[in-house]
């Protein structure tokens, strides 16, 4: 086990913003962790760029920390993290929280067997019911608040492909959210097979909102056990 406690770098998913991590960050603070949350440029009121721009934002935050880092990626956030962390010696562990742990040449669309659209420089709307997909175990009031904070998302981020994924050279843990309605559990399990270790959490897609205490404790276990 590494003796120096790392900073946890938190990377949000599509349509979300860094503030979605606030509840979890408060619990990690209680446990004595320093945290930072990346602001991905493809998601927000002025959404721009593609997955490589998100990866650049992740690399910038890792460089700013200036010490050992464990990166925690949620949902889409796993894609730019896999792209960004390759070759960065300060990144000690990757945690994919119901996240896309993609391999070489894969994009979110290709992983789901969806063909690339002709036009990618557009915003992609949320399909279906975000209450059910993202926030199934939140109270109605908390879910309404979370939905009100969803942002625009660039389509290009979903079709850009990973080059050399960081998890091939950096140890990783996949956290399967067993009640997830956004990324089906069988698909999570398929990606979890790529990770060094696998943990499971009985939660919907957003345990940082619905189960922050339990998630913080699980992350502490993962950090403590990292090689």
Residue of 5, 55, 58, 62 lying closest to 33 (CA atoms): 5
Average pLDDT, the chain: 96
Q: Is residue 162 part of a domain?
A: yes
Give backbone dihedrals phi and psi of 218, rounded to 5 degrees, phi first. -65, -45
- The runs of H, that is alpha helices, within the chain are 22-30, 51-65, 78-84, 108-111, 130-134, 140-148, 156-159, 185-192, 207-210, 212-225
**Residue 226 included in any domain:** no
CATH of the domain at 57: 3.40.50.1820
Whether 33 maps to a domain, the answer reads: yes
- According to the model, what pLDDT value does residue 1 have? 41
pLDDT at residue 74 in the model: 98
| pTM > 0.85 | yes
Residue in 164, 155, 196, 150 with CA at minimum distance from that of residue 55: 164
Does residue 129 fall inside a structural domain?
yes
Which segments of the chain have a pLDDT < 70?
Answer: 1-3, 227
The whole-angstrom separation of Cα 177 and Cα 196 is: 17
Residue 128: the pLDDT is 83
User: Residue 206: helix, strand or coil by DSSP?
Assistant: coil
Q: Is residue 2 situated within a structural domain? A: no
Strand-pairing partners, residue 7, are 69
- Domain assignment present for residue 83? The answer is yes
What's the pLDDT score for residue 227?
56
Nearest residue to 21 (alpha-carbon basis) of 94, 71, 84 = 71
User: How many helices (DSSP H) and strands (DSSP E) are in the chain?
Assistant: 10, 6
Q: Domain residues for 213? A: 7-220
The HSE-up count of residue 32 (CA atoms within 13 Å, CB side) is 6
Residue 170 domain flag: yes
How many domains is the chain partitioned into structurally? Answer: 1
Compute how many other C-beta atoms are within 10 angstroms of the C-beta atom of residue 186. 7
Question: Which residues on adjacent β-strands are paired with residue 73?
Answer: 11, 96
120-159 tens-digit pLDDT = 999 998 878 999 999 999 999 999 999 999 999 999 999 9
Q: pLDDT value at position 3?
A: 53
Is 1 part of a structural domain of the chain?
A: no
């Amino acid at each position: 086990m590494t003796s120096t406690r790392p900073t946890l770098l938190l990377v949000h998913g599509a349509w979300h913003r860094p503030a979605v991590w606030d509840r979890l960050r408060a619990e990690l603070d209680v446990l004595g962790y320093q945290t930072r949350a990346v602001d991905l440029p493809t998601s927000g009121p002025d959404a721009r760029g593609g997955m490589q721009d998100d990866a650049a934002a992740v690399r910038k935050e890792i460089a700013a920390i200036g010490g050992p880092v464990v990166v925690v990626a949620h949902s889409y956030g796993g894609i730019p993290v896999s792209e960004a962390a390759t070759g960065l010696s300060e990144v000690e562990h990757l945690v994919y929280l119901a996240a896309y742990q993609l391999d070489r040449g894969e994009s979110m669309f290709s992983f789901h067997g969806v063909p690339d659209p002709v036009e990618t420089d557009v915003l992609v709307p949320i399909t279906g019911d975000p209450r059910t997909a993202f926030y199934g175990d939140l109270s109605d009031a908390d879910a309404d608040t979370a939905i009100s904070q969803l942002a625009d998302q660039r389509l290009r981020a979903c079709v850009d492909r990973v080059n050399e994924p960081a998890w091939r050279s950096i140890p990783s843990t996949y956290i399967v959210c067993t009640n997830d309605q956004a990324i089906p559990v069988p698909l999570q399990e398929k990606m979890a097979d790529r990770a060094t270790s696998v943990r499971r959490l009985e939660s919907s897609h957003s345990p940082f909102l619905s189960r922050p205490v339990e998630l913080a404790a699980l992350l502490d276990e993962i950090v403590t056990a990292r090689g």
